[in-house]
Amino acid sequence: MAAFEEFPDPDVILPRKRRSITINRPAFTELDFQEIHKENVKETKSLRTRFTKFLGKHKCSTKSAKACFFTLFPIFVWLPAYDVKRDLLGDFASGLTVGIMRLPQGMAYGLLATLAPVYGLYTVFFPALLYAMMGTSRHLSVGSFAVVSIMTAAAVDRVVEETRPAEGPYNEGLERAKIAASLAFLVGIFQLGLGVLRLGFVSTYLAEPLVRGFTTGAAFHVFNSQFKYLFGIEVTRYNGPFAIYKTFFFLFANLALTNVTELIIALVNLVALVTVKELQDKYKEKIKYPIPLELLAIILTTMVSHFASLEKKYGANVVGDIPTGLPTPELPSFSHMDSLITDAIIISIVTFSVSVSMGYIFAKRNNYEIDANQELVALGSMSVFGCFFVCYPAASSLSRSLLQEISGGKTQLASLFSCIFILFVLLFMGPLFYSLPKSCLAAIVVVALRGMFRQFRDIKVLWKYSKIDCMIWVVTWFSTMSLGVDYGLGVGVVFAIMTVIIRTQKPYCCLMGRIPGTDIYRDLSYYQSAKQIPGVMIFRMHSPLYYANADYVKASLYSKSQLNPVKILMARAKVESKKRKAERRTEKAEVRRRKKAGKKHTRLDEEEMSAMNVSDTTNHHLREDAIEVIDDNRNSNNRLGNGDHLSLEMAAEDKTHSLVLDLGSVSFLDTVGISALKSIIADYEKIGITVVMAHCKENVREMLLGSGFMEQVGLDRMFVTLHDAILQTANDQDVEDMREQNAWEHIPGGGGGDAACEIMAI
């Protein structure tokens, strides 16, 4: 029954008219509820049946082969339905714009990977071709990426140092390219394996604070790697933990060796790019199409370098020969793959996590969906395909992907248009960039890091909303910067997992009370209006109950309820022991009295008085001991006892007879958690307190039933809701006490009778 009623208090922010609720039903245990409302019977299928069904679902047929083909190549799904009039112009403009950006970034990031710039151009071309056909995101622009480039450089440097011959001819540039291609092959194979096994969910273990902290830390390594081009100094390359600090010290110690020409080129490009980009960001609403600043910087700097002969006259380090045409496909080298497995695993996870994270953002913004497992297959396939053309590991670029979206791109056809532009450059324009100074490319890389360095703003936001997430960000950033990108990512993942374990290891626990006039129960420490029900203690834990937190939950229950069964039993045993000693002393005094019965009357009186003094003294000590134990357990609330008084001398006033465990927030439990529940029930039963459970989730209830727990402790201990448990456990005297406290109104049936439940929340 529902009715509207005027709300009397105008200061309370609620609708002036609100509904009232009246419910009249029995108070259910889970057993009663299941008998009346039958559960759906879950069909248990044998392994053979499941396997047969799987084979039937995936049997080879024309239909299944066609479905598999369209799943692997989504382009053949959306291309036939492509709206030429609506999308073609936007895709073409976006593709040309992104292609112009691919050119300088490809060359710069190729240099960042310690390879010749032309390999960066290969990486922004070949992988993008395959991703356009296999990817499910419409806006990701794949190819070279700063973080992956620096991770590739670290792996290539290490293997080169391990395999460099002591003497004889050695083409280091070609060897580096082969090692990078082998790394791309391993990355692709690992991602393909994850995709085939449908393990796309692994990206969920790299939370956004972790990924952003990692990329910010990696940005420092990217910046660090560009010093030798910015200053024109041959910087010694350091590997391993704290390499970035060693590089800084080396640079400061050798600043006198700076090539002034290269420093000026870098500074001019830095100032120009940053200034124009800031103005472009400020007036982005008025600028319809982004200005290709990087391309303009490359063209102008190349022209100045060529006509001023900066290489010959001032020793400027230039790009040099860029071969025209496409590379001949060849198998990657397998001789170094055993040394690259760890790097490949880390890079594959990073590229997938970054790409899928951005893919989800664009998909949500433009109202479509992506498939994480198909993304794994697409990323893996493009890396394997690219390695045959001497490409290093590729990933999606945030800056290019954003540009592809804001410049009007609607589908991956935009990526194909940008690839056509890069193909034109590779076939005809390579020699034109011979005089391009590497310091110009280094300036482009440094400016591209602006977005990553701006991620430091995350710290303020995260600290405000979640200090643990903020710690994950800071720890991952600092470890990545200090220990390197490989160790840093591992430290970040381990730390993030540890925070989850710690949060569940020491969960929030509380005592609950009822809001007067309702069936609503809230944390007593949060709500002043919440009242504890006399005789009934309500305890709630906000976490799973498993091996890591079972002991903590028990200790928290004993502490918050101030009813520690172990200490109470010890106190009882101590009191009983002293009682027995006192009784024995009294008996001995009585025996002595009888033996001396024939003596003088005055002597008899003295003996009797002595015995009485002994008894009084003993009782006095008993009271002191009992009070001492009680005080240790009561703290400030003077709580210890239960319905069974410890002794007449202790005069316990506590009337707690029931404990309700609210399991509504327990998402799962294990065998250790079940053992903890058994222990709690057994311990409290020993001191006369009945323990019941309420609001169990289905999977928790099935676990308790399947383990035989309910048969051991009794099926009548589990209630459908917390209110059902309260109504069933509260006795008539509790109800009278609540009515006297004006806290049980509007809930008739709260005690006694057949436990009918009528709720009116007005």
How does DSSP classify residue 454? G
Name the pLDDT band for 146 (thresholds 50, 70, 90): confident
How many percent of the chain have pLDDT more than 90?
34
- Same domain for 497 and 513, yes or no, is no
Residue 571's CB: how many other CB atoms inside 10 A? 23
Task: Tell me which of 602, 634, 666 is where a domain ends.
Answer: 634
Q: Which range among 124-138, 264-278, 729-743 shows the weakest confidence by mean pLDDT?
A: 729-743
Is 46 among the domain residues? no
Is 689 among the domain residues? yes
What's the whole-number mean pLDDT along residues 343-364? Answer: 89
- Same domain for 229 and 264, yes or no, is yes
Q: Which helix (H) or strand (E) holds 406?
A: helix 398-406
Q: Which range among 52-56, 394-398, 697-701, 702-706 shows the weakest confidence by mean pLDDT?
A: 52-56
Using CB atoms within 10 A of its CB, is residue 428 exposed (0-12), middle (13-18) or buried (19+)?
exposed
State pLDDT tens for residues 49-78: 777 776 666 667 777 788 888 889 999 999
Vertex 216, ends 210 and 222: CA angle to 5°?
Answer: 135
What's the whole-number mean pLDDT along residues 578-587? Answer: 85
State pLDDT tens for residues 665-676: 999 899 999 999
Is 49 among the domain residues? no
- Same domain for 428 and 323, yes or no, is yes
Name the pLDDT band for 740 (thresholds 50, 70, 90): low
Residue 576 pLDDT:
84
- Same domain for 521 and 491, yes or no, is no
Q: Is the pLDDT of residue 747 over 50?
A: no
d(CA 399, CA 141): 9
- Same domain for 151 and 290, yes or no, is yes
State pLDDT tens for residues 489-537: 889 999 999 998 888 888 999 999 999 888 899 999 999 899 888 889 9
- Same domain for 599 and 686, yes or no, is no
What's the whole-number mean pLDDT along residues 548-555? Answer: 92
Tokens representing 163 are 């395999």
b/e sequence 199-212, b meaning 16+ C-beta within 10 Å: ebeebeebbebbbb
Q: What are phi and psi of 551, to 5 degrees?
A: -65, -40
State pLDDT tens for residues 24-52: 888 888 888 877 877 766 666 767 777 77
Is 57 among the domain residues? no
Chain-wide mean pLDDT for the chain?
82
CATH number of the domain within which 681 lies: 3.30.750.24
Residue 12 pLDDT:
46
690: left (phi over 0), alpha (psi -120 to 50) or beta: beta
- The single-letter code of the amino acid at 516 is P
Tokens representing 552 are 């903590």
Contact 273, 443 (CB under 8 A): yes
Q: Which helix (H) or strand (E) holds 691?
A: strand 690-694
Q: Is the pLDDT of residue 1 over 60?
A: no
Strands 690-694 and 658-662: parallel
Is 526 among the domain residues? yes
Contact 353, 211 (CB under 8 A): yes
Name the pLDDT band for 710 (thresholds 50, 70, 90): confident
Tokens representing 721 are 């809701």
What's the whole-number mean pLDDT along residues 669-697? Answer: 91
Higher pLDDT, 170 or 274: 274
Closest listed residue to residue 701, CA positions, set 36, 43, 33:
33
d(CA 748, CA 755): 9
Q: Is the pLDDT of residue 663 over 90?
A: yes
- Same domain for 721 and 696, yes or no, is yes
d(CA 256, CA 261): 13
586: left (phi over 0), alpha (psi -120 to 50) or beta: alpha
Which range has highest mean pLDDT (89-93, 100-104, 389-393, 526-530)? Answer: 389-393
Residue 189 has, within 13 A of its CA and on its CB side, a CA count of 13
Task: With H, G, I as helix, E, B as strand and everything else as coil, classify residue 395.
Answer: strand
Residue 591 has, within 13 A of its CA and on its CB side, a CA count of 6
Residue 638 pLDDT:
40
Output the 3-class SS for 516-571. Answer: CCCCCEEECCCCCCCECCCCEEEEEECCCECCCCHHHHHHHHHHHHCCCHHHHHHH
d(CA 691, CA 254): 75
Task: With H, G, I as helix, E, B as strand and everything else as coil, classify residue 281.
Answer: helix
Domain range for 702 is 509-563+656-761
Residue 159 pLDDT:
92
Higher pLDDT, 3 or 167: 167
What's the whole-number mean pLDDT along residues 226-255? Answer: 86
Higher pLDDT, 661 or 168: 661
Task: Tell me which of 478, 501, 524 is where a domain ends.
Answer: 501
CA distances from 24 to 31, 109, 214, 753 (A): 19, 71, 57, 14
Is 626 among the domain residues? yes
Q: What is the pTM of this model?
A: 0.75
CA distances from 679 to 112, 282, 283, 285 (A): 61, 65, 68, 66
Tokens representing 599 are 């003596």
How does DSSP classify residue 428? I
CA distances from 138 to 16, 367, 375, 540 (A): 48, 11, 12, 47
Task: With H, G, I as helix, E, B as strand and everything else as coil, classify residue 5.
Answer: strand
Is 63 among the domain residues? no
How does DSSP classify residue 653? -
Closest listed residue to residue 419, CA positions, set 636, 689, 618, 121:
121
- Same domain for 741 and 629, yes or no, is no
Task: Tell me which of 583, 603, 634 is where a domain ends.
Answer: 634
Helix axes 413-424, 84-112, angle to 10 degrees: 50
Closest listed residue to residue 184, CA positions, set 37, 395, 38, 325:
395
Residue 627 pLDDT:
43
Residue 473 pLDDT:
95
The count of structural domains within the chain is 3
Is 410 among the domain residues? yes
Q: The dihedral of CA 519, 524, 528, 533: what is its sign?
A: positive
State pLDDT tens for residues 450-460: 888 999 999 99
b/e sequence 609-646, b meaning 16+ C-beta within 10 Å: eebeeeeeebbeebbebbeebbeebbeeeebbbbbeeb
Beta partners for residue 536, in sequence order: 658
Residues 6+ away with beta carbon under 8 Å from 609:
none
- Same domain for 293 and 437, yes or no, is yes
- Same domain for 481 and 532, yes or no, is no
Using CB atoms within 10 A of its CB, is residue 125 exposed (0-12), middle (13-18) or buried (19+)?
buried
Name the pLDDT band for 648 (thresholds 50, 70, 90): very low
- The single-letter code of the amino acid at 582 is A
Residue 748 pLDDT:
41
- Same domain for 578 and 707, yes or no, is no
- Same domain for 465 and 614, yes or no, is no
